[in-house]
Amino acid sequence: MDTDEVLNPPTSLPLFRAHPRNFADNRFVYPVISRRSGGVSVGINLNPDKVCNFDCIYCQVNRVSQSETRFVGQEPLLAELDAMLSLVTSGELFLDEQFAATPEPLRRLNDIAFSGDGEPTTYRNFDRIVEACAAVKRRHGLDAVKMVLITNASRFHRPAVARGLAILDQNQGEIWAKLEAGTEAYYKLVERTTIPFRLVLDNITAAARIRPLVIQALLMRIGGEPPPEAEQEAFCDRLNEITAAGGHLKLVQIYTVARPPAESFVAPLSDAEVDAVAERVRQRTGLATAAYYGSMS
């Protein structure tokens, strides 16, 4: 497997076609082989109740059925994280049938990611859980391992979330903030939320003034059509506005649908379409951009 395959492994691999948020008897902590991380990402699900303040048309979470786990217990979560880190770093994870086919270059712990079945920053004591998980990471001697927050950036202005972001900064933290629209209308079409687009943009800008952010943009065909040219241009305009206001964006991830979405009218972009958007972003903004492909076939 060459470097390009490690950075952008084939989405057709079963490892990338499903990201189940359950492993063994765990309720909160789960391992995935992440195409964007290029290795093992240990996920922490702070929203087992499936409650989210966005209702994205491409979301893979089944919000019709209720989860058996409705509340997050901090001590059980930390115990699961402790055991999972031991499992991954020892290599025992790859003895499991689900992970036995993992290519050798991907058999590494890349990050601990706050992600899951909803927006992680809606967790009431977000700052406390981040600090507790960071302490577990330190006990394992994993100072170099990143802590990633995958977020829609809707609550960065809340004090507990701001404190949580600062704790991440002290523990190899990296924020992956969702931004996949250039206009309010397209934002509402894709995200289906009452949270104003301007609030998200302001939150991303303010956070990016303090530390470099990664922008994650999942783009797709809606009703058979890719994002309109004008929308793609507006998306680049928003990125330029963030950097012009003093925000530091270290990377823009352009990716597309790789697993069954919430709505049947959503479909992945072709590889060429993903590449074209990524190139437009590079040319219009000068930002580092990475492309990740999807396949529903």
Give domain limits for the chain: 3-214
Instruction: Summarize pLDDT for 144-176 with one digit per residue, the tens.
Output: 999 999 999 999 999 999 999 999 999 999 999
Residue 40 has pLDDT above 50, yes or no: yes
Instruction: Summarize pLDDT for 174-212 with one digit per residue, the tens.
Output: 999 999 999 999 999 999 999 999 999 999 999 999 999
Contacts of 289 (CB under 8 A, 6+ apart): 251, 252, 253, 254, 278, 279, 281, 282
Please give the single-letter amino acid code of residue 97: E
In the prediction, which pLDDT does 137 show? 98
* Token pair belonging to 292: 């990740």
Contacts of 166 (CB under 8 A, 6+ apart): none
In the prediction, which pLDDT does 296 show? 44
More confident residue, 72 or 277: 277
Q: State which fold the 3-214 domain adopts.
A: TIM Barrel (3.20.20)
DSSP string, 105-135: GG-SEEEEEEESSS-GGGSTTHHHHHHHHHH
Residue 15 has pLDDT above 50, yes or no: no
Beta bridge partners of 218: 255
Question: Do 30 and 45 contact (CB within 8 A), yes or no?
Answer: yes
Q: How far apart are CA 125 and CA 147, in angstroms?
A: 17
Instruction: Summarize pLDDT for 96-132 with one digit per residue, the tens.
Output: 999 999 999 999 999 999 988 999 999 999 999 999 9
DSSP string, 251-266: EEEEE---S--SSTTE
Question: Do 212 and 173 contact (CB within 8 A), yes or no?
Answer: no
Beta strand 29-34 with 146-151 is unpaired
How much is the pTM?
A: 0.89
